[in-house]
Structure 1
Amino acid sequence: MRVWIFLAALLVLGGCGYAPAAYYAKNVLGESVSTEVVISMEDPQNTVIIKDAVDMAVITKFRTKLAPKESAETHIKISIDSVTFSPLRYDINGYVVTYRTTVMMKFERTRADERKNYFTRGIYDFAIEPNAIITDQARYQAISQGAEKGIDAFVAQVAAQGASSK
């Protein structure tokens, strides 16, 4: 029974011209990509998180390979514009119990003589104990998750650009 459902889904998706986002993104990025993350003086330890997340997205979501800048078809330069923590929810005593992390990112894509900027926002909500401070681990996790969502937004923008250029 599962085989028939899978085949039916495959037929429907194949019949309507469906193509994954990576297919459209390759039209914009090419086969090889190099990445560079600008180190934030305000938050240097999170630069490594974002570099790793971007490299993972290049491999898994764009289905392209990482290459040195000199030999890559496309170069992506990423910078964090801002990271903010905002109280989102309070308990009955007025203590903050949920925060929202917003990570604003800028991506500069360069391919041949073409340069395009993309701006994304990644949001991540997390809970803390009432009357507690945000621990370094919670902060690290929140920025990491927010950055991943910002990277996903960049992936969507590139795929949409690739789909519209077809």
Structure 2
Amino acid sequence: MKTKFLLFLTAFILVGCSYKPVSKITSDIMGERVYVNVLISKEEPKNSVWIKDSVLEGIVTRLGKRISDDKNAPTSITVSIKTLSYQPLLFDEYGYVTSYKAILALNFDTRLKSGKTLSVTTSGEHDFTVSQKIRDTRFADGVISESDRYNAVKQASQEAFDEYIATLAVKGLKRGD
């Protein structure tokens, strides 16, 4: 019984030693300071600002990095919107859209502290219902309000950012950076 316990404990320790948290991997390849530039889209200027807020929040809260305003920071990330679309999901009995899916694709061009560059395209989605304005008792207006768009873009960009970090961590482990 004692030898089985020791074998189990040894196996547990050996397996546990290979685990490395994403925050540690990103710290190894990114450094402590990060410069972030979000390119403002001519078609979606407000959404670009919302995406920048979401990416900056993710870098600070999820990765524990400091945002740098210096382009000479060890790591720089340039984010651009590839596509943003709203797909209708549900309709009411009168044919008005009551629910949408926001689909966002972002491109992250990254210069790591080692000098290597990396381009990653990620996507995020968010399902949401639209605010209904009743014009009369039979018709509803399924217009996407500003707050609906903001929440949808914020959630989709957070999902895209999470995918970016996961991709960055995997590539960092593979390369041994």
TM-score (norm 2): 0.78
Q: C-alpha distance in 1, partners of 2:125/2:42?
A: 21
Q: Does the aligned pair in 1 maintain the 2:54–2:158 contact within 8 Å?
A: yes
Q: C-alpha distance in 2, partners of 1:34/1:132?
A: 39
**2:110 corresponding residue in structure 1:** 109
Q: Does the aligned pair in 1 maintain the 2:55–2:157 contact within 8 Å?
A: no
How has the CA–CA distance of structure 1 residues 136 and 32 changed in structure 2, closer, same or farther, with 3 Å as cutoff?
same
Number of paired residues?
Answer: 155
Q: Does the aligned pair in 2 maintain the 1:101–1:143 contact within 8 Å?
A: yes
How has the CA–CA distance of structure 1 residues 114 and 88 changed in structure 2, closer, same or farther, with 3 Å as cutoff?
same
Q: C-alpha distance in 2, partners of 1:155/1:165?
A: 15
**Pairing of 1:5-154 with structure 2 (within 5 A):** 16-17=16-17, 18-111=19-112, 112-128=114-130, 129=132, 131-154=141-164
Q: How much does 1:144 deviate?
A: 1.5
Q: C-alpha distance in 1, partners of 2:89/2:98?
A: 8
Q: C-alpha distance in 2, partners of 1:117/1:71?
A: 19
Q: Which one-letter code corresponds to 1:105 in the other structure?
A: L
Q: C-alpha distance in 1, partners of 2:75/2:142?
A: 45
Q: Which one-letter code corresponds to 1:34 in the other structure?
A: Y
Cα deviation 1:3-53 (Å, max 9, x = unaligned): xxxxxxxxx799613332111112321222110010011111122222222
Q: C-alpha distance in 1, partners of 2:48/2:167?
A: 22
Q: C-alpha distance in 2, partners of 1:52/1:95?
A: 32
Q: Which one-letter code corresponds to 1:115 in the other structure?
A: T
Q: Counterpart of 1:27 in 2: which secondary structure?
A: helix
Q: How much does 1:106 deviate?
A: 0.4
RMSD, aligned α-carbons: 2.1
Q: How much does 1:150 deviate?
A: 0.9
Q: C-alpha distance in 2, partners of 1:13/1:30?
A: 29
Where has structure 1 moved over 6 Å in runs of 4 or more?
Answer: 12-15
How has the CA–CA distance of structure 1 residues 13 and 103 changed in structure 2, closer, same or farther, with 3 Å as cutoff?
farther
Q: Counterpart of 1:141 in 2: which secondary structure?
A: helix
Q: Counterpart of 2:161 in 1: which secondary structure?
A: helix
Q: C-alpha distance in 1, partners of 2:96/2:20?
A: 48
Q: Which has the higher contact order (CA 8 A, sep 6+)?
A: 1
Identity of aligned residues (%): 28
Q: Does the aligned pair in 2 maintain the 1:124–1:145 contact within 8 Å?
A: yes
When Rg is computed on C-alpha atoms for both structures, the one with the higher figure is: 2
How has the CA–CA distance of structure 1 residues 64 and 43 changed in structure 2, closer, same or farther, with 3 Å as cutoff?
same
How has the CA–CA distance of structure 1 residues 92 and 67 changed in structure 2, closer, same or farther, with 3 Å as cutoff?
same
